[in-house]
C-alpha cells in the first residue's frame, strides 16, 4: 500500500511539473500550448545526449554529471519554448484563438518528427550508468520502501516548485508576469515588454517540463520521440483538474491524477487507470467547473 502511494506520488510529481507549464501559459495568454508535451520529450533526449557527451569526456561522477545534464536539458527546452512562442504564437497574436492553437499542434508534429528522423524511430536507452545506481539504491523505513530515484524525483520537484513560487511572488520578473496575466493592455501601457514576458513564461514552463523529462527518462530507462503525447495529455488534465491558470492547482491536480492512477491499478487493475483519472477530472469539473483551486482568477499566472 505504501509502495503504491510512493509510486503514485512520484508519477504525480512529474505530471505536476509538466502541468505547471500549461497553467503558466494559460494564465498569461488564455491559450493552451499544445506543443508543451514536446518540450518534455526534448528534455529527455537533451539530458540523455548531455550525459553521453559528459561520459565520453571522462566525467563519471553522477553527483556532477546529472545536475549538468538537467541544466542543459532545461536550457535547451527553454530555447525551444522561446522558439515555439515566436513561431507559433507571436505571429498570430491578433488572430482568432484557434489559429495559434493549430500552429502549436503543427509545431508539436514538427518537433516529434524532427527527433524521430534525426535520432531514432525506435527507443533509445537512457545512460544506465546514471539511472541504474539511483534506481537500485533502495531504503526500507518500516513498511515504506523507496528508491533514491524516487527521493530525487520528489525532492527536485519540490525544489523546482518552491523556486517557481519564489520567482512568481518575489522577483521583478514574477511581478511583471502577474501584471501581464491580469491585464495585458495595461501592463503594456505601463511600459512592460509584454512579448518579452510572454516568451519568459514559455521558457520557464519548458524548462520545468525538461526537468520532468529527465526524471521520467531515468525512471523508465528508455526514451521515445512520442513520449510527450500521452504525458502532455495527462499533465493538461492535471492542470485543468487543479484549475487552469492556477499554480498550486497544477501541483495539486498532478499529484491527484498520479495517485488516482496508481491506486486504481493496485485496487482494480491497470485496465481502469485512465478511466479513473479522467472520471475524476469529469467529476471535479461537474462540481467545480473552474477546477479545484480555480476561483482565484486574479492570481492566475
Chain residues in the site for another protein (CB under 8 A) = 3-4, 7-8, 10-11, 116, 121-123, 125, 128, 135-136, 138, 145, 147, 216, 219-222, 224, 226-227, 229-230, 261-262, 265-266, 269-271, 273-274
Shortest approach of another protein to residue 56 CB, angstroms?
18
- Return the number of the residue (189 or 270) whose C-beta is nearest another protein: 270
Q: Torsions phi, psi of 294, nearest 5?
A: -80, 0
Give least dist CB 276 to another protein, A. 12
Residue 193 has φ and ψ, to the nearest 5°, of -85, 90
Closest separation between CB of residue 262 and another protein, Å? 4
- Reduce the DSSP state of residue 290 to 3 states and report it: coil
Q: How far is the CB of 107 from another protein (least distance, A)?
A: 20
Q: How far is the CB of 97 from another protein (least distance, A)?
A: 29
Residue 75 in contact with residue 213, Cβ under 8 Å?
A: no
What is the SS3 string spanning 95-148?
Answer: CCCHHHHHHHHHHHHHHHHHHHHHCCCCEEECCHHHHHHHHHCEEEECCEEEEH
Helix/strand/coil for 222 = strand
By beta-carbon proximity to another protein, the closer residue of 151 and 285 is: 151
Residue 85 vs 261, nearer CB to another protein: 261
Of the pair 7, 103, the CB lying nearest another protein is at 7
- In the complex with another protein, which residue's Cβ is closer, 179 or 215? 215
| Smallest distance, another protein to C-beta of residue 225, A | 9
Which is nearer to another protein, 14 or 181 (by Cβ)?
A: 14
Distance CA 171, CA 235 (A): 26
The answer to whether the CB of 10 falls within 8 A of the CB of 219 is yes
Beta strands in the chain (DSSP E): 123-125, 138-141, 144-147, 222-224
Amino acid at each position: 500500500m505504501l509502495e503504491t502511494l510512493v509510486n503514485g506520488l512520484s508519477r504525480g510529481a512529474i505530471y505536476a511539473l509538466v502541468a505547471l507549464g500549461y497553467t503558466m501559459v494559460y494564465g498569461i495568454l488564455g491559450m493552451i500550448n499544445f506543443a508543451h508535451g514536446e518540450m518534455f520529450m526534448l528534455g529527455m533526449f537533451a539530458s540523455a545526449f548531455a550525459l553521453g557527451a559528459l561520459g565520453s569526456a571522462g566525467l563519471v561522477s553522477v553527483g556532477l554529471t546529472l545536475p549538468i545534464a538537467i541544466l542543459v536539458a532545461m536550457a535547451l527546452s527553454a530555447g525551444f519554448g522561446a522558439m515555439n512562442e515566436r513561431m507559433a504564437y507571436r505571429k498570430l497574436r491578433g488572430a482568432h484563438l484557434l489559429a495559434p492553437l493549430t500552429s502549436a499542434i503543427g509545431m508539436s508534429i514538427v518537433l516529434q518528427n524532427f527527433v524521430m528522423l534525426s535520432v531514432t524511430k525506435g527507443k533509445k536507452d537512457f545512460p544506465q550508468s546514471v539511472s541504474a545506481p539511483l534506481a537500485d539504491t533502495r531504503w526500507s523505513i518500516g513498511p515504506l520502501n523507496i528508491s533514491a530515484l524516487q527521493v530525487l524525483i520528489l525532492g527536485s520537484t519540490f525544489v523546482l516548485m518552491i523556486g517557481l513560487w519564489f520567482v512568481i511572488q518575489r522577483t521583478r520578473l514574477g511581478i511583471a508576469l502577474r501584471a501581464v496575466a491580469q491585464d495585458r493592455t495595461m501592463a503594456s501601457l505601463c511600459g512592460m515588454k509584454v512579448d518579452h514576458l510572454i516568451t519568459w513564461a514559455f521558457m520557464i514552463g519548458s524548462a520545468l517540463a525538461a526537468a520532468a523529462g529527465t526524471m521520467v527518462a531515468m525512471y523508465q530507462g528508455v526514451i521515445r520521440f512520442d513520449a510527450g503525447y500521452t504525458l502532455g495529455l495527462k499533465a493538461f488534465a492535471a492542470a485543468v483538474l487543479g484549475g487552469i491558470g492556477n499554480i498550486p492547482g497544477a501541483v495539486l491536480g498532478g499529484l491527484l491524477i498520479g495517485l488516482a492512477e496508481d491506486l486504481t491499478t493496485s485496487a482494480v487493475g491497470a485496465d481502469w487507470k485512465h478511466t479513473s483519472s479522467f472520471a475524476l477530472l469529469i467529476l471535479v469539473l461537474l462540481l467545480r467547473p473552474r477546477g479545484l483551486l480555480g476561483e482565484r482568477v486574479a492570481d492566475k499566472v
